Amino acid sequence: MGNTYEIIDETKWKRALHCQIFRNSIEPSYCVTLELDITNFLEKVRKEKFSFTLSLVFAVSKCANNIEEFRYRFLDGQIVLYDRINTAFTYLDKNTDLFKVVNVDMQDTLESYISVAAQKAANQKDYFTGPLGNDVFQFSPMPWVSYTHISHTNSGKKDNATPLFDWGKYFDRNGKKILPFSVQVHHSFVDGIHVGKLVDSLQDYLNNI
C-alpha cells in the first residue's frame, strides 16, 4: 500500500511559477557534492555493530522527510506532497559483484530500520523487483572511491523528481572522518536553500546520534 499524499492546488501554491519554469528545462535536476563529518556517527555505529550503509540511509531519510520540499513529486501530471517518503537502496551481491535494488519502508527508529532493511536485503533474490515507486528516496553509495564530483544516468523523464543520494569512501583529515556526499534533486521542488537545510540537519544528526 502506498503512502498518502495531498494533491497541490497550483493556483494557490506559492511555488507554482518556479516549478513550471524548471519543469520545462532540458535538465531539471541538479546535483551537489559536499563533505560530511562522520566522526561521531562512525564511532556510534561501530560501537553498536550497526551497518554503516543502512544507518546512513536512515539518517538521510529521516532528515529529508522533515523538509517538505523533499516530499513533492509529479504524479499523473499533477503535483503531490507525500506524507512520508520510503527508501530504495542498492545492495551489492558479493558473489556476482552485481547490485540489487532493495525497497524498504521508512521506520520510526534507527534500530527498527536496520532490522527490517537488513532482513529484506538478505532475503531478496532478484536484482530488480519492478519500477521504483514515486514515494522513495533513492540511494546508490559508492564506498570504493573518495570522489569530489559525481554524475548520474538520465532516464529522459523530466518529471522524475525522486531525490538521489550517494556517498563515497570516507577518509581521515586532521583527526576527523570525512565522507564525500552527494544529493541530486529536481529544481521544480528543491532549491539550494533546501539542500542547505538538509545538510545542516543531517550534520547535526551525525554529530549527536
What pLDDT does 2 receive?
61
Residue 82: helix, strand or coil by DSSP? Answer: strand
Residue by residue, DSSP assigns 112-137 as HHHHHHHHHHHH--SS--SSPPSSEE
Q: Which residues of 41-65 are buried (b: 16+ CB within 10 A; e: fewer)?
A: bbebbeeeebebbbbbbbbbbbbbb
Q: Which three cell numbers stand for residue 183?
A: 544529493
Tell me the three state secondary structure of residue 102: strand
Question: What pTM did the predictor assign?
Answer: 0.96
Cα separation, 171 vs 173, in Å, equals 7
Task: Give the residues across from 35 on adjacent strands.
Answer: 180
Q: How would you write the pLDDT of the chain (209 residues) with one tens digit per residue?
A: 468 999 999 999 999 999 999 998 999 999 999 999 999 999 999 999 999 999 999 999 999 999 999 999 999 999 999 999 999 999 999 889 999 999 999 999 999 999 999 999 999 999 999 888 899 999 999 999 999 999 988 888 889 999 999 999 999 999 999 999 999 999 999 999 999 999 999 999 999 99
